[in-house]
Amino acid sequence: MSLAIDHLVVAARSLAEGEAWVESRLGSALTGGGRHPLMGTHNRLLGLGEGMYLEVIAVDPGAAQPPRPRWFSLDAPAMRERLDQWPALIHWVASTDDIVALASASPVDLGEIIAASRGDLRWRITVPRDGGLPAGGVFPSLIQWERGSPAAALPDSGCRLESLDIAHPSARSLDQTLRSFGLPADAPVRAVDDASGTGRLAARIRTPGGLVIL
């Protein structure tokens, strides 16, 4: 089995607001992206090098209401209240070559495995039935690409992920699980045990203008 950081998820009230927020901090333009018909969302992307990228995602106002809760807690009142303040890094997604095996072995409930698409892209991804975030967002959703990740087609933004810090009461145990699932020892994930909350993420990104923390 293999596991790797696939992408970071920044959510926003609107795609334009999220894009402006990320660009103002990282100093690089987002590109690509599109609509997710299954979930009624749309996104924009920023390459982070080494097969990783950052995704800005928001509810697509032009899409029909999906038949199930949207992924990444976008329909949850608490998330909407949070995003009313400003966009936020809320989650991360890890790629694997055996999503069925890892999802069934996960100590965190990752939900069901669904098939999704955007344009020519095809993938399978774990989504909790209520659309929530596993372990408050610090434990990744799993994705298995069927036709390759969009990261390869993104222009070089000059931004690189230096570390993804996960703070959670069981952070070190979650990190051990990820390593046992195949996350390399040198993958830039840092676990911080934190008994004060339900989960927090911080991404340290090296940009052409210096280090930025999201």
Asked whether 34 and 119 are in contact (CB, 8 A), the reply is yes
- Is 183 within the bounds of a domain? no
- Is 10 within the bounds of a domain? yes
Show pLDDT as tens, one digit a residue, over the chain (214 residues): 799 999 999 999 999 999 999 999 999 999 999 999 999 999 999 999 999 999 999 999 999 999 999 999 999 999 999 999 999 999 999 999 999 999 999 999 999 999 999 989 999 999 999 999 999 999 999 999 998 899 999 999 999 999 999 999 999 999 999 999 999 999 999 998 887 777 899 999 999 999 999 9
On the CB side of 50, how many CA atoms lie within 13 Å of its CA?
Answer: 9
CA end-to-end span of the chain: 30
Question: What is the CATH classification number for the domain harbouring 72?
Answer: 3.10.180.10
* 138 φ, ψ (degrees, to nearest 5): -85, -25
Q: Which domain holds residue 34?
A: 3-157
Of 84, 82, 25, 92, the residue nearest 55 (C-alpha): 92
Tell me how many domains the chain contains.
1
- Predicted TM-score (pTM) of the model is 0.96
